[in-house]
Structure 1
Amino acid sequence: MFNEFKTFIARGNVIDLAVGIIIGAAFTAIVNSLVADLINPILGLLTGGIDFTDQYIVLSGTVPDNASLAAARDSGAAIFAYGSFLMAVLNFLIVAWAVFLLVKGVNRVQRAAIRQKEEGPAAPAGPSQEELLAQIRDLLADRANPV
């Protein structure tokens, strides 16, 4: 069983998956900061200071007036936290957009590499081999027949 596990772990796909998960976790922190620190304040400015993350509706129970979402949850009341949901949707859209741009960029680079490979190596700058040999021949001929 240990050898099977070792074979499984040594596969390239598992390593790629692990790298993807680690990068995804770091990317999530960036997206969360983008939403909380940049997008929410702009949305709040556009909506007159409303911060969507603490928006909720009390379905049943009692919640003190102007209580935060955390306080409303702690009170035991049934609440409809639409602000948290909106922010989760916004986070998803931002991540999806970033992944779309990343995949689009990678595809562009791959297409350029394939195109370059199909076109072959670029022609070297300067005279061709035949032109150089002709110049050498002419120089040798001039040296042999001084005027």
Structure 2
Amino acid sequence: MIVLAVLRHDQRLADMADGNDVPASTVRRWRDELIGLLAAQTPRLDRVLRKVAKQGGELVLIDGTLIRTHRRTGSADRRNYSGKHRTHGLHFLALTDEHGRLIWISAARPGRTHDNTAARHDHILAHLRAAGLGALAGLGFCGLDTTSSTP
């Protein structure tokens, strides 16, 4: 319950640790273990796209989003700052099916990451070609080089 409060309600680790008489390092370890367990359950991009194609889908919708976070201290601060949004956060790419249902979401990246960079890193275009699917993308993908992406 402590870890769920930290993740769901953005409670500070130190506050939750003090209120439950456990060290903050223990709460941090519990949080990291739970995130690892949840991450292991996520579907792989190639399998998700093959499933969409098998069910008769012709395209997916792709867009990037910034999830706001608290400002970090020190040198780690700048990489999470998005100049476009003028705030700190983490960048995610999301793919939905034709009906708008979420089918895949990328791993978190620093907030300064551009949509095109994230798409290239995840080889989105190569996976789409392999599955025989098309994509509708947000304006952040303008100019994405479709010829250089290889599986």
TM-score by length of 2: 0.25
TM-score by length of 1: 0.26
Structure possessing the higher radius of gyration over alpha carbons: 1
Flag the structure with higher helix content: 1
Flag the structure with higher strand content: 2
